[in-house]
Amino acid sequence: MTKIIFPVKLVGTKQYATQLLHFVPKHSPVLDTEVKLLENFISSSKNIAVLTGAGISTESGIPDYRSEEVGLYARSNHKPIQHLEFIKSATVRRRYWARNYVGWERFSKCQPNPVHFSVRNLETDFNKVSSVITQNVDNLHYKAGSKNVIELHGTAFRVICLECDKSYSRYHIQEVLSELNPMMKATSDMVRPDGDVEIPQERVRDFNPPLCESCGGALKPDIIFFGDNVPKFRVDAVRTVVSESDALLVLGSSLSVFSGYRIILQAVEEKKNIAVVNIGPTRADKVVNLKISARCGDILPKIC
């Protein structure tokens, strides 16, 4: 397999090293034998479905929730927003939008890393990947140039009305929030998996959240919050992609969330070849054909 060079200029060397230090858990160097095993898996496959998780976004400076010592749960008492709380409570929506407004600038400027470009290469240059199924909401696969992406848990870059379903660009909503809250500083050094940050309660109390420009309804980022379900049309699309593939490659996911693990269950049932690259154990380790405990950025760019 001929290696294709990806545009690493989007992630500077110093910045990249800092991100690894902060958000990537401890790991051993990848072995040459492991590189060869994954290369053989990719070479022998004709139509790969790729499933990616937060473990690839950590290398772009976005923390995950569960990693030992460096994940958000390990570093703070923060709990992610719950779907029903957001739907039922105007107070919860105000708090979420205030935090998200402050965190958006840094979150939205995060850039793809070599793993995203390698996945792009497998799709557009090697014609090995039929579709990328991502559990991430950070838009980084699109930024890297991948074409066929299913955002399993939605995207932070789109906002929807809970009443009339009108859709907005998150960039537009940021401009609206800036006009509604001229005294609020929209910058932070913090970043979280869904883009919100911690801010003082007094700043939340006076914050004006956005409303739909068509019907005045409450707005929500087009993200599957904890406690919500992945829409059926998206589940069906993923099922079709997996069925039409001959292999499944999982990158940077512990598969703790059932929406991801059921993709494994389908692939096992349909007797697909399955490879997993992830630091630490995953929920599927005992049922896959190949498991490599490594940082995705240590191994995938050496192949593609």
Q: How far apart are CA 247 and CA 50, in angstroms?
A: 9
Torsion sign, CA atoms 218, 143, 63, 198: negative
Annotated binding-site residues read: 161, 164, 212, 215
Q: What is the 3-state composition of the chain as percent helix, strand, coil, each rounded to the nearest 5?
A: 40, 15, 45
Type and span of the H or E element at 68: none
> From edge to edge, which strands make up the β-sheet containing 273-277?
149-151, 129-134, 48-52, 247-251, 273-277, 290-292
Neighbours of 167 (CB within 10 A): 9
What separation in angstroms does the CA of 110 have from each of 176, 239, 296? 22, 30, 18
The active-site residue out of 22, 27, 153, 172 is 153
CB-based contact 115:278 (threshold 8 Å) = no
The answer for 280, left when phi > 0, alpha when psi is -120 to 50, beta otherwise, is: left
Is 153 an annotated catalytic residue? yes
Long-range contacts from 73-77, C-beta under 8 angstroms, 24+ separation: 76/198
Annotated binding-site residues for Zn(2+) read: 161, 164, 212, 215
Active-site residues: which are they? 153
